[in-house]
Amino acid sequence: MRYPHPKLRAENAVIDKFDDELKATAKEMLSIMYKDDGVGLAAPQVGVNKRLMVFNEEGDITKPQLEMILANPVIVGRSDVMALREEGCLSFPMINGKILRHEWIEIEYQNIGGERVSKRLEGFPARIFQHEYDHLDRVLFIDRFVDEDKALNKKRLEKYVKKYGADAAP
C-alpha cells in the first residue's frame, strides 16, 4: 500500500491467533520486502491491519537466519542517546529523510508460535524496529522527518496524494 492509502493510518489489531493464516501473512510480507529491496515491513503496508512486523537487517534473502517476525511488539526500554540517519519506506518510493531514533531499545514481542521473547536491539536493527513499530501505531516516517527534510519532500508528497488519491491501491 502506498501513501496515502487509508490502511496506513488505520488501527492495528492485537494478534491473538497464532495460526497458519498468520504464518502465511508473515511469509508474504518477507517475500514482498525482499522483492522491493527493503529491510523491514509492517502488516498494514500489505493491507493487513494487525500488529505484525518483519525485518532482516541486511535485506538479504540468502540470510534467513537474520529474519525477524514480531507479533504484538512493545518497547520496554530505550536509550537517551539518539542517532540521526536517513530512512526510506516501501510505502513511499523515491522519498527519503533523516530521522532521530533511539540508539538502542529493549523490546518484548511474541514469535510466530506465540511465545514471548525479550530482546535488546542496537544500531541499525533498533532503527528498523522503531520505523516498523511506528507503522503499527499509525505513525509514518514522514511525520518524524527533521524539519529540513519535511520541507524538501512537501511537493513530492502532494504529488503522491494527487496521483494515488486517498484510497490508493498498491
Q: Does 15 bind Co ion (CB under 5 A)?
A: no
- Choice from 54, 89, 126, 136 touching Co ion (CB under 5 A): 89
Least distance to Co ion from the beta carbon of 140, Å? Answer: 7
What whole-number distance in Å separates Cα of residue 46 and Cα of residue 170? 8
CB 43 within 8 A of CB 70: no
Q: Facing residues of 46 across strands?
A: none
In a 10 Å sphere around its CB, with 0-12 CB exposed, 13-18 middle and 19+ buried, how is residue 21 labelled? exposed
Separation in Å, CA 170 to CA 7, 59, 119 = 11, 21, 33
Q: Is residue 36 within 8 Å of residue 73, measured between CB atoms?
A: no
From 10-18, 65-73, 82-90, 161-169, give the range in contact with Co ion by CB under 5 A.
Answer: 82-90
Active site residue 21: no
Active site residue: 67, 103, 132, 148, which one?
A: 132
The least distance separating Co ion from the CB of residue 89, rounded to whole angstroms, comes to 3
Nearest to 111 by CA among 54, 38, 48: 54
Least Å distance, CB 115 to Co ion, is: 26
Which range of residues in 52-60, 81-89, 93-101, 157-165 is near Co ion by CB under 5 A? 81-89
SS3 157: helix
In terms of CB distance, is 43 or 71 closer to Co ion?
43
Question: Closer CB to Co ion, residue 18 or residue 164?
Answer: 164
Q: Which stretch binds Co ion (CB under 5 A): 58-66, 68-76, 88-96, 154-162?
A: 88-96
Catalytic residue set: 132
Judged by the rule CB under 5 A, the positions of this chain that interact with Co ion are 89
